[in-house]
């Protein structure tokens, strides 16, 4: 059941509010806040942006280029064909493998046709020529072309020796070997001395010892 007194009071309050609204239409029944406080996040006054520090200047080291000064005058260039000295024809050359092997192993070569050494072995210098060059007995040897003045024309590994008036003397006066290389003042010769293995020696022109004087050597013929 509705309470009439309460209903009347409600109606009277509505009537008063309507009446007041007519006289002051801008008036609001509900008080509005005078200020609205909006909370915002404060912006920083300065934004510190982190940047990568610039590298310090790098001094690049360069290699200094040295300039070659071109001469003011040029030497004339003469083109000549490369020629090789014509080799002398010899009857025989020696087997390099035989004496090189003996040289490497330190072997003393002996041959029944060679002269006798004081130690009782037939290992005189001729033994190397007989074993490596298939040479006959020394009685069949003869003096050939002179080595000096023709060294570059003599084939490699040619048998050579000293001679007395065109004859090879077997008593130790003369000596024989195998030419291996020409030098400015003589040549190199592989030979075997009594009681010693094969070795390479250099003989020079004008030496006071006849066996070491390159001017005394000739190619061996037989």
Per-residue model confidence as pLDDT tens for the chain (222 residues): 445 455 555 565 675 666 555 555 554 444 444 444 444 454 555 544 455 455 444 444 443 433 333 333 333 223 333 346 687 777 788 998 988 898 899 999 999 999 999 999 999 999 999 999 999 999 999 999 999 999 999 998 999 999 999 999 988 889 999 999 999 999 999 999 998 999 999 999 999 998 899 999 999 999
* CA 124 to centroid of chain Cα atoms: 45
pLDDT score for 9: 58
Structural domain includes residue 101: yes
| Residue 186 neighbours by CB distance under 10 Å | 22
- What lies within 8 Å, CB to CB, of 189 at 6+ separation is 160, 177, 178, 179, 180, 200, 201, 202, 203, 217
Strands 217-221 and 159-162: antiparallel
Quote the CA–CA distance of 122 and 100 in Å, as a whole number.
20
Q: Which two tokens stand for residue 17?
A: 């509010």
Which residue carries 């075997």 as its tokens?
192
Domain membership of residue 63 (yes or no) is no
Residue 60 lies inside a defined structural domain of this protein? no
Q: Report in angstroms the alpha-carbon separations of 174 from 9, 100, 115, 138.
A: 167, 23, 12, 11
Residue 192: its pLDDT value, please?
94
Instruction: State pLDDT tens for residues 142-201.
Output: 999 999 999 999 998 999 999 999 999 988 889 999 999 999 999 999 999 998 999 999
User: Tell me, what's the pLDDT at 168?
Assistant: 94
Question: Domain range spanning residue 148?
Answer: 96-221
Number of domains into which the chain is organized: 1
- Asked whether residue 161 is domain-assigned, the answer is yes
Residue 59 lies in a domain: no
pLDDT reported for residue 138:
95
Domain-located, residue 182:
yes
At residue 146, what are phi and psi to the nearest 5 degrees?
Answer: -70, 140
């Amino acid at each position: 059941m509705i309470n009439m007194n309460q209903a009347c009071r409600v109606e009277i309050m509505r009537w008063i509010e309507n009446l007041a609204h007519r006289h002051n239409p801008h008036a609001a029944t509900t008080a509005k806040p005078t200020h609205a406080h909006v909370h915002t996040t404060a912006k920083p006054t300065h934004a510190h942006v982190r940047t990568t520090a610039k590298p310090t200047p790098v001094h690049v080291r360069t290699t200094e280029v040295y300039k070659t000064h071109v001469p003011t005058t040029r030497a004339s260039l003469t083109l000549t064909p490369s020629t090789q000295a014509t080799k002398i024809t010899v009857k025989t050359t020696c087997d390099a493998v035989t004496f090189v092997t003996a040289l490497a192993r330190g072997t003393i070569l002996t041959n029944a046709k060679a002269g006798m050494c004081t130690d009782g072995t037939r290992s005189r210098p001729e033994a190397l020529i007989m074993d490596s060059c298939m040479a006959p007995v020394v009685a069949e040897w003869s003096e050939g072309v002179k080595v000096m003045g023709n060294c570059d024309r003599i084939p490699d590994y040619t048998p050579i020796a000293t001679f007395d008036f065109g004859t090879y003397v077997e008593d130790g006066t003369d000596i024989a070997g195998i030419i291996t290389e020409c030098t400015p003042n003589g040549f190199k010769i592989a030979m075997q001395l009594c009681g010693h293995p094969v070795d390479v020696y250099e003989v020079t022109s004008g030496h006071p010892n006849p066996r070491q004087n390159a001017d005394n050597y000739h190619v061996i013929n037989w």
